[in-house]
Amino acid sequence: MKTESVIINTDGASQGNPGPAAIGVIIRDESNRQLASISRRIGRTTNNQAEYQAIIAALERAIKLGASRVELRSDSELVVKQVNGRYRVKNASLKPLYQKVNQLRNQLVDFRITHVNREQNKEADRLANKALK
């Protein structure tokens, strides 16, 4: 089933900075029906790299589901501000991840990313931490 508009919550987690890391993603349609979830280890990275990798995995899955409009929610204020162009990406290890996010968002008709507090991101956080165990 193809869904044009999706709402995504993402989270990246790292035990240590850098350290073992994982991502968590929940993708829902506009009726709040869960379409997909991701919970997986991604190797050894920093927390910010994990946050970016969660967004990349989420956008790739949303595009495969047929989404053309994405509202993405993340509890990483830094990453949200970088993707929205409010902060420059200075860290060399984040630049290719930032570029990949931009390549994916350019495949969409509409893309919005907003910062949410941890309380509003519990499910994605749970999936990321579950993969770390």
Q: What is the pLDDT of residues 76-92, one digit of tens each?
A: 999 999 999 999 999 99
Taking only the tens place, the pLDDT of each residue in 25-77 is 999 999 999 999 999 999 999 999 999 999 999 999 999 999 999 999 999 99
Q: Are 47 and 12 in contact (CB under 8 A)?
A: yes
The DSSP code sequence of 72-106 is EEES-HHHHHHHTTSS----TTTHHHHHHHHHHHT
Number of H helices, E strands in the chain: 4, 5
Dist CA 126 CA 49 (whole Å) = 18
Taking only the tens place, the pLDDT of each residue in 2-14 is 679 999 999 999 9
Interhelix angle 122-132/47-64, rounded to 10 degrees, is 110
- Entry pTM: 0.96
CATH architecture of 5-132: 2-Layer Sandwich (3.30)
